[in-house]
Amino acid sequence: MKPGLKAGQTAELEVKVGREMVAAFGGVTVHGLYSTSWLVHHMEWVARKTIVPYLEPDEEGVGCGVQVAHIMPTIPGMTVTLKATVSDIRGNKVVCQVEAFNPRGKIACGSVTQAVVGKDWLSRKIDELSPVHPMPGHSESPGPGLSARDPAPTCESTVRPNKRKEKWSS
């Protein structure tokens, strides 16, 4: 990464919510509100804007973590303004705090973590995942600044436990 990226730097993105951005699964609309999946897409986009000026020609940013609280609804036609603020830089990982607002107030907050990796490394990983390539061993380094010892994120680390100890039934 080029020098200069520092905690506190910001980027903004404005998005007019379209009808294609409402909550839908398998082509079936659930409700006519701005979906959380589109919100996360826009959060990643605004966070990416903080690192793009600092990427070397042989580098790329990849999302490696998102946390979000979607706290207020937005209808199609409204404009959503997102702001990402760099809060931490650890090796090749850049963490941004992101807030989103519609004309009535804050609709979401959370964080997006990106890893800056070499384009060659990323291309190799894509090729390895291609169905025409056999599954490689796990001995290759995960990329510049990443360690095989870094724990992978787990659902358990982000899901609140069920305090009532309810069990799924069939």
User: What confidence score (pLDDT) does residue 133 get?
Assistant: 55
**Bridge partners for 63 per DSSP:** 114
How many residues would you count in the chain? 170
pLDDT tens-place string over residues 89-134 = 999 999 999 999 999 999 999 999 999 999 999 999 999 998 765 5
For β-strands 28-34 and 10-16, DSSP reports them as: unpaired
**Bridge partners for 99 per DSSP:** 83, 109
Q: CA-to-CA distance for 143 and 121, rounded, in angstroms?
A: 6
User: What confidence score (pLDDT) does residue 134 get?
Assistant: 55
DSSP state of 18: P
In which residue are the tokens 């384009």 written? Answer: 119
Closest by alpha carbon to 92, among 144, 150, 147, 153? 144
The token duo for 165 is 């100890």
To the nearest whole percent, how much of the chain has pLDDT over 90? 76
pLDDT tens-place string over residues 38-91 = 999 999 999 999 999 999 999 999 999 999 999 999 999 999 999 999 999 999
- Report the 10 Å Cβ neighbour count for 44: 18
